[in-house]
Chain A
Amino acid sequence: MRKEIPLAIAFVTGFVVLLEYFFLPAVPASKAWATMLQQWGIVVSGFAMFVAATNLVLVNVKKMDPKRNKEWYNPVLLLVFMFGMAFIGLFVGERTATYQFLFTKMYQPLGTAMFALMVFFIASAAQRAFRAKSVEAALLLAAGIIVMLGRAPVGELAGSWLPNLTNWIMNFPNVAGNRAIMMGAALGATATAFRALVGIDRSYLGVD
């Protein structure tokens, strides 16, 4: 029963949501059931965040040993800021100056700087990977360079043709390619979801 009950839960919940969508959109009760299950899903996935936080605590507590870890203070910092942010947000209030300070003066600058850093790594990877050795590679390189130049102020200095060409690439070949990927991925996602719902794919149950 350890596997049968979860398989039944997945099948029934999936079936109720799909039933409302495909077969019974006109029946109010089916819509109410499907909406309720989706709202329950939001609540259950909210608890998943706390499972993740518990796991983060367990992993980092193990790393706090100064004998084993030279930088034992890093997990301490992580947990102090995690519990600090959570405590202030939950018990003191989100509108307090301390919470706003942590969010706008630390969380946002750190996040933006971390993502900005990636430009250097993308550029360095591109410098090594972009070699026009085939038609495909040449198209990739040309499209990338045109879009980068067309999106930068320097592109407009070359004339209006470069931003126009960029817009054309974005609106036609790029849309065509992305549409093909999206349609292929949608079919793949449907097949995978169907396999999970009917119990053919049971990998989410893990192993005993």
Chain B
Amino acid sequence: MTSDIGIWVAAICTLAMFSFLWKENSIFRSFQHIYVGIAAGYGMVRQWQAINNMAITPLLTKGVTTWIVPIILGVLLFARFFKSIAYLSRWSVAFLIGIGGALSIKILETEFIRQAQATFVPMNSFNNIVLVLGTVAGLCYFYFTIKPSTALLGVAKLGRYVLMISFGAGFGNAVMGRVSLLISRMQFLFGQWIYLIKM
């Protein structure tokens, strides 16, 4: 068993989280709160660095005064904590909605046009036929604009099958991703903490 205090702390944190498998208990809840606290603190450090590097340093050292605008908009977000001026925080939210909305429209190129381009493959192999028909059938399933005909309903049914295979594959991948995290924790506990397995 190790005498490294850091590994002991990490092992206790891991076991406290796994204690939830027995039942929800106060130790789990305490460590859950610690996790949220550290994550929030870490987020604050990262975001402050972004604000400092992008806006405050250029404003103070190079005199780039345009950075005052996003700093004021950022500070206005705090107006929501004061009832009389809470409406001012909408300006900042609206600014973010404007940027976010425009970027959402811009992704139409990668998420729609490029995907459509990639689907236009020659139907000269079984795999390509699966790819093209699967995509078209899947899209037919999401087509709600008109009252569907019998033919469209048939294609949409095929689309539902393709989507189910996708969901199944996604589920399998999600499970295996979590299993690899579990294995890494077990290797840590039995390898680095109590030396039961060789690392």
Contacts and interface: CB of A to CB of B under 8 A. Distances in A.
Interface residues on B, range: 35 or more
B176 interface: yes
Nearest to A199: B94
A131 B130 CA distance: 26
Q: Which of B54, B164, B185 has the most CB of A within 10 A?
A: B164
Contact of B161 (A136, A147, A183, A197): A136
A56 B35 contact: no
Nearest to B14: A113
Contact of B106 (A21, A78, A148, A174): A21
Interface of B: 6-7, 9-11, 13-14, 17-18, 20-21, 26, 29-48, 50-51, 54-55, 66-67, 69-71, 73-75, 77-78, 80-81, 87, 90-108, 111-112, 115-116, 118-119, 127, 130-135, 137-139, 141-142, 159-176, 178-179, 181-182, 184-185, 188
Given A111-B35, A136-B161, 10 more contacts: A18-B102, A44-B74, A75-B33, A84-B37, A101-B6, A147-B173, A171-B127, A176-B130, A189-B107, A204-B93
Interface of A: 2-3, 5-7, 9-18, 21, 36-54, 56, 58, 71, 73-75, 77-86, 89-90, 94, 101-120, 122-123, 126, 135-137, 139-148, 151-152, 168-187, 189-190, 192-194, 196-197, 204-206, 208
